[in-house]
């Protein structure tokens, strides 16, 4: 059966096309574009992606306005029903602002926009997004953000670590994130937020393919389910 | 009714912006700056009779991120404060 994915375009999203291209390249089926103002998602979705960008111009806080846009109510409902949701970069910021993931993404500690390919360590290779990696595998994925400095209080960080919910960690300090966290899962494991851009790492021509396994995991996991 | 919402980072949350401003002030030769925290000021014109509960809810739902920020609500008498 075809892989039914949707991606949300907010005003100011700029990685939505990259996300769509990646999803189609890996799954063989073009994903459905959903607009921020839509109240409903298409039915029977296998996957929802919140792309990177600068939704609503990063007004107030990155992701704060998008988190309250009409479509997010439907995304929350879908996430609670267990539909896999991937938020990349601004998508991660939206997921934290919407309360689907704990913590917050603050201004990078060095104050600068960071745009480069960074080494990550796969900390949990058992989630539906990461099953295609090896535990502890080092991968290289691009980051491009100003507000990627992950913050949560110690109790939350301890819980995330204890429950295996840190999916990816920067191998070296990147943006000041507490415990070098680059990506986290929700409690049920069906929502992943990450600052690095796996959708920008699926073609050799673009500097690497380490992002493919993430989409392959999501697509393959559902095919096998 | 004029309302000012003061949003500030919680104590203990590292403030990269405040630190950069601190360094810049020192670079300009100002002495005696011991710490700088940068926050946000939101001014609103509200209908008379808006409840404190409603203002609180606005802060908690949108204006402040309770993971990292605190907020303080200041109501101004009509004659004071130009918005």
**Res B45 pLDDT > 80:** yes
Q: Which of A28, A21, A22 is nearest to A3 (CA)?
A: A28
**Res B64 pLDDT > 50:** yes
> Is B16 in contact with A108 (Cβ distance < 8 A)?
yes
**Res A173 pLDDT > 60:** yes
Give the mutation candidate from B42, B65, B69 for the A interface (greatest A CB count, under 10 A): B65
pLDDT for the residue numbered B80: 54
- For residue B37, give both structure tokens: 């925290």
The arithmetic mean of pLDDT across residues A70-93, rounded, is: 98
A200: left (phi over 0), alpha (psi -120 to 50) or beta: alpha
Sign for the pseudo-dihedral over CA of A36, A39, A42, A46: positive
Which of B:47-76 have CB within 8 Å of A? 61-63, 65, 67-68
- Closest CB to B67: pick one of A104, A107, A111: A104
- Looking at the DSSP bridge assignments, the partners of residue A88 are A194
Q: Name the pLDDT band for B77 (thresholds 50, 70, 90).
A: confident
pLDDT for the residue numbered B60: 96
- Closest CB to B62: pick one of A64, A108, A151: A64
Measured in degrees and rounded to the nearest 5, phi and psi for residue B41 equal -115, 125
Give the mutation candidate from A67, A151, A156 for the B interface (greatest B CB count, under 10 A): A151
Planar angle of CA A163, A143, A132, nearest 5 degrees: 50
Q: Provide the domain limits for residue A162.
A: 5-223
Residue A81: which CATH number? 3.40.50.880
Q: Using an 8 Å CB-CB cutoff, list chain A residues near B20.
A: 111
- Of residues A184 and B19, more confidently modeled: A184
CA distance A85 to chain B (A): 22
Report yes or no: A148 at the B interface, CB cutoff 8 Å: no
The arithmetic mean of pLDDT across residues B47-51, rounded, is: 92
Q: Can you tell me whether residue A72 is helix, strand or coil?
A: helix
Over the range B3-36, which residues count as b (16 or more CB within 10 Å of their CB) and which as e?
bebebbbbeebbbbbbbbebeeeeeeeeeeeeeb
Give the separation between CA B8 and CA B75, rounded to whole angstroms. 17
- Closest CB to B65: pick one of A61, A108, A110: A61
**Res A180 pLDDT > 70:** yes
Task: Specify the DSSP class assigned to residue A111.
Answer: S
Contact A16, A35 (CB under 8 A): no
CA distance B67 to chain A (A): 6
**Res B82 pLDDT > 70:** no
Report ipTM for this prediction: 0.84
Q: Name the pLDDT band for A168 (thresholds 50, 70, 90).
A: very high
Which residue carries 């994130």 as its tokens? A177
Report yes or no: B25 at the A interface, CB cutoff 8 Å: no
pLDDT tens digit string along A96-146? 999 999 999 999 998 899 999 999 999 999 999 999 999 999 999 999 999
**Res A172 pLDDT > 70:** yes
The DSSP line for A43-70 is SS-SEEEE--B-GGGG-SSTTTTGGGSH
- For residue A76, give both structure tokens: 């929350």
Q: Give the start-end residues of each E strand in A84-190.
A: 85-88, 104-106, 114-122, 138-145, 149-151, 166-170, 181-185
> Is A103 in contact with B67 (Cβ distance < 8 A)?
yes
Report yes or no: A176 at the B interface, CB cutoff 8 Å: yes
Q: What is the dihedral of CA A14, A122, A92, B58, to 10 degrees?
A: -170
pLDDT for the residue numbered A225: 45
Q: Name the pLDDT band for B16 (thresholds 50, 70, 90).
A: confident
CA distance B64 to chain A (A): 9
pLDDT for the residue numbered A207: 84
- The structural domain count of chain A equals 1
pLDDT for the residue numbered B17: 87
Q: Can you tell me whether residue A209 is helix, strand or coil?
A: coil
**What percent of chain A has a predicted confidence (pLDDT) above 70?**
98
- Closest CB to B68: pick one of A106, A110, A176: A106
> Is B65 in contact with A111 (Cβ distance < 8 A)?
no
Give the separation between CA A185 and CA A197, rounded to whole angstroms. 16
The arithmetic mean of pLDDT across residues A146-156, rounded, is: 97
Give the catalytic positions of A in this structure. 89, 197, 199
């Amino acid at each position: 059966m075809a892989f039914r994915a949707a991606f949300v375009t907010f005003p100011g999203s700029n990685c939505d096309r990259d996300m769509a291209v990646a999803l189609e390249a890996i799954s063989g089926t073009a994903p459905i574009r959903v607009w921020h103002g839509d109240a409903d998602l298409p039915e029977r979705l296998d996957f929802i992606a919140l792309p990177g960008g600068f939704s609503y111009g990063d007004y107030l806080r990155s992701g704060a306005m998008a988190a309250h846009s009409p479509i997010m109510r439907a995304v929350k409902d879908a996430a609670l029903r267990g539909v896999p949701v991937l938020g990349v970069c601004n998508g991660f910021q939206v997921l934290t602002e919407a309360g689907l993931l704990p913590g917050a993404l603050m201004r990078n500690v060095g104050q600068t926009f960071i745009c480069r390919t960074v080494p990550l360590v796969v900390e949990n290779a058992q989630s539906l997004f990461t099953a295609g990696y090896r535990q502890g595998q080092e991968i290289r994925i691009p980051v491009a953000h100003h507000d990627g400095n992950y913050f949560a209080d110690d109790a939350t960080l301890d819980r995330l670590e204890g429950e295996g919910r840190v999916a990816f960690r920067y191998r070296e300090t990147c943006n000041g994130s507490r415990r070098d966290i680059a990506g986290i899962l929700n409690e049920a494991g069906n929502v992943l937020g990450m600052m690095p851009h796996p959708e920008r790492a699926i073609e050799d021509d673009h500097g690497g393919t380490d992002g493919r396994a993430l989409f392959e995991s999501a697509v393959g996991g559902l095919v096998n389910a | 009714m004029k309302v000012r919402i003061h949003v500030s980072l919680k104590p203990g949350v590292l403030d990269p912006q405040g630190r950069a401003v601190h360094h810049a002030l020192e670079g300009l030769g100002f002495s005696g700056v011991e710490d700088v925290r940068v926050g946000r000021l939101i001014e609103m014109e509200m209908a008379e009779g808006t409840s404190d509960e409603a203002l609180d809810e606005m802060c908690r739902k949108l204006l402040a991120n309770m993971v990292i920020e605190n907020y303080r609500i200041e109501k101004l008498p009509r004659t004071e404060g130009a918005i």
